[in-house]
Structure 1
Amino acid sequence: MAKSEQRSVSVERHIAAPAEAIFAVLADASRHCEIDGSGRLVRATSSNTPLTLGSTFSMRVRLGVTYPTKNRVLEFEENRLIAWAHWQGQRWRYELEPSDDDGTLVRETFEWGTARWPRSIELVGAHKKNVPSMEVTLERLAAIVETPPAATPDTDADNAA
Structure 2
Amino acid sequence: MSFWVQSVERRIAAPADRIYALIADPARHKDFDGSGTVVTAVDVSSSTRPLDIGDWFSMNMDFHGKYTMTNTVVEAVPGERFAWQGKPHKHSTRWRFLFGGRIWRYEFEPDGDTTLVRESWDLREERLRLLVVLGRRQVREDMRRTLDRIAELLEP
Same fold (TM over 0.5): yes
Per the alignment, residue 144 of structure 1 pairs with: 153
Which of 25, 30, 50 is the matching residue for 1:33?
30
User: What's the offset of the Cα at 1:50?
Assistant: 2.1
Larger radius of gyration: 1
Q: What is the RMSD of the two structures over their aligned residues, measured on CA atoms?
A: 1.3
Residue identity matched to 1:98: P
Q: Does 1:21 align with 2:21?
A: no
Aligned to 2:142: 133
Q: Which runs of 5+ in 1 are unaligned?
A: 148-161
1:119 aligns with 2:130: yes
Which one of the candidate residues 96, 103, 107 is aligned to 1:95? 107
2-side partners of 1:30 and 1:85: how far apart?
Answer: 17
**1:117: Cα distance to partner?**
2.2
What whole-Å deviation, never above 9, does each CA across 1:43-91 have from its counterpart, x for those lacking one? 1101233211111000001012111110000011111100001121100
Match of 1:9 in 2: 6
Structure 1, 13-22 or 113-122: larger mean CA deviation = 113-122
Is the contact between residue 112 and residue 127 of structure 1 (CA under 8 Å) also seen in structure 2?
no
Question: Shift in Å at residue 120 of structure 1?
Answer: 1.9
Q: What SS does structure 1 have at the residue aligned with 2:34?
A: coil
Contact conserved, 1:61 with 1:67, CA < 8 A, in 2? yes
Amino acid at match of 2:138: K
1:85-120 Cα distance to aligned partner (Å, 9 max, x none):
1121100000000002x2100000001122122112
Q: How far apart, in 2, do the equivalents of 1:142 and 1:116 lie?
A: 32
Shift of 1:15: 0.3
Q: Cα offset for 1:3?
A: 3.8
TM-score by length of 1: 0.84
Distance 2:2 2:72 in 1: 27
Shift in alpha-carbon separation, 1:54–1:143, aligned structure 2, 3 A = same
- Displacement of 1:29 after TM fit? 0.4
Give the structure 1 partner of residue 121 of structure 2: 110
SS in 2 for 1:53: coil
The letter for the 2-side match of 1:110 is W
